Chain A
Amino acid sequence: MSEQPALASYALRLGDDALILAQRLSEWISRAPQLEEDVAMANIALDLLGQARALLTYAGEVEGMGRSEDDLAYFRDDRQYRNVHIVELANGDFAQTTARQLAFSSYQLEMYLALRRSRDLTLAGVADKAVKEVAYHRDHATQWTLRLGDGTEESHRRMQAGIERVWPHVDEMFRSDPLEQALAADGLAVDARDLRSGWDSYVGAVLREATLTRPQTWTAPGGGRQGLHTEQLGYLLGEMQYLARSHPYSGW
């Protein structure tokens, strides 16, 4: 098998982040603390799934081996997935999911804002569309972080615990490697390291307003971009891919 073109690998990374988080968030459907949140989680998941479909389709086209979005979503094993770990973590309680949403949507919004300027017109088009959607996701996470953090003693405790749980996985979102740096130098991709200061100032302000403490914590080793994942991704893929693998390419 020939080596995958760098641009295809990059589109796959962004698409896998969106796809895996879409699947995670959809686990809240019928289990959210209130009906409006059930609907909100489903809507956010649907936006992410739409972004994932465009990015995986494009990754398949650039790769040029005839793989469709479905081939990439349903017929790759965990070691072939390129998402960061924060999106594959189990949901935990609603506060932990909110903490992850705050951390990830704040990163994703900065990334898409920068990617709008890509010389690659497909990536720029996906980003331009997604910016409007992710701005809603970040606002939703912000409102809940404020409400829970600056709420009751119990909601504050849980929100702080949620932040502590996801924080070790924040650094991985802002690492880049030679592949990404070469594409960024060509004006095609975004170097994730450049997104950190914008993220820090936004998330820092939300945590302060929510009376939460920024964790002083360890940093998880990461490795998602190289295909090294936590155990939790396997269970997620098992559920997501079961039907397609049992009945390959069936339609309804």
Chain B
Amino acid sequence: MMTDLALIRDMVARVPDPEIPVVSIADLGILRDVSLDGDGLLQVTITPTYSGCPAMDAIRRDITDACERCGAGEVEVRTVLSPPWTSDWITEEGRRKLREFGIAPPGRPAAAPGPGRRSVPLALSVRCPRCGSPDTRRLSEFGSTACKALHACNACLEPFDYFKAI
């Protein structure tokens, strides 16, 4: 049974993110756990990057399909909010794939602001994923999906997505 669980975990880990299919849900840190509960029922635990992430329904469906394909049978996909997802959970492998796909991987997240305090964002420069130049600028804190911001490179002039650090 242990080997089976390792196989299932491997299959589930490979489920691609529906919006950025070059990375898997394991690469992004969305996949939290694959285990058997007390009754031997397969449980997969995932967490959203953002509260409103519209990809969660598709991810749940893709996990169920992946389990069916490898003969794992019935699966319960649980969504947990706590502890909250952080971009620090994106693996080195995930960061490399994002960069190659043209999305700048996240830097270190800023500390959460305290009550009444204004946060002082100290953003390190974001490197252009196309030409590697650190001479880039932010066009918008918000991008094509909830998890990305829009930047542009001053060296090669290309706009690019930046995976937000939270």
Contacts and interface: CB of A to CB of B under 8 A. Distances in A.
A205 B113 CA distance: 15
B82 A139 contact: no
A133 B143 CA distance: 14
Contact of B50 (A42, A46, A197): A46
Contacts of A138: 113
Contacts of B38: none
Contact of A198 (B109, B115, B150): B115
Contact of A128 (B83, B115, B121, B140): B83
Interface stretch (A82-90, A119-127, A151-159): A119-127
A132 B140 contact: no
B48 interface: yes
A202 B144 contact: no
B118 interface: yes
Contacts of B80: 125
Given A50-B52, A121-B82, A131-B112, A139 B140 contact: no
Contacts of A139: 119, 121, 141
A125 B81 contact: yes
B141 A133 contact: no
Contact of A50 (B53, B83, B117, B143): B53
A197 B82 contact: no
A133 B52 CA distance: 10
Interface residues on A, range: 35 or more
Nearest to B143: A39
A36 B134 CA distance: 22
Contact of B81 (A40, A42, A43, A54): A54
B96 to A, nearest CB: 25
Nearest to A130: B51
A251 B46 CA distance: 24
B146 to A, nearest CB: 6
B132 interface: no
B115 A50 contact: no
A136 B116 contact: no
Contacts of B84: 125, 128-129, 131-132
A109 interface: yes
Contact of B51 (A54, A109, A113): A54
B116 A40 contact: no
A216 B116 CA distance: 22
A49 B113 contact: no
Contacts of B82: 121, 124-125, 128-129
B22 to A, nearest CB: 22
The 10 lowest CB-CB distance pairs between A and B, nearest first, are A50-B52, A50-B51, A198-B116, A125-B82, A36-B140, A46-B52, A40-B142, A125-B81, A43-B142, A198-B115
28 contacts: A36-B140, A36-B142, A36-B150, A37-B140, A39-B142, A39-B143, A43-B146, A44-B142, A46-B52, A46-B54, A46-B146, A49-B52, A50-B53, A51-B51, A110-B115, A110-B116, A113-B112, A126-B81, A128-B82, A128-B83, A128-B84, A129-B82, A130-B51, A132-B84, A132-B166, A139-B141, A197-B116, A198-B116
Given A53-B52, A129-B81, A131-B112, 19 more contacts: A36-B150, A39-B143, A39-B150, A46-B50, A49-B52, A50-B51, A51-B52, A110-B115, A113-B113, A113-B115, A126-B51, A129-B48, A132-B84, A135-B112, A140-B141, A197-B116, A201-B116, A205-B118, A206-B118
Interface of A: 36-37, 39-40, 42-44, 46-51, 53-54, 109-110, 113-114, 121, 124-126, 128-133, 135-136, 138-140, 142, 197-199, 201-202, 205-206
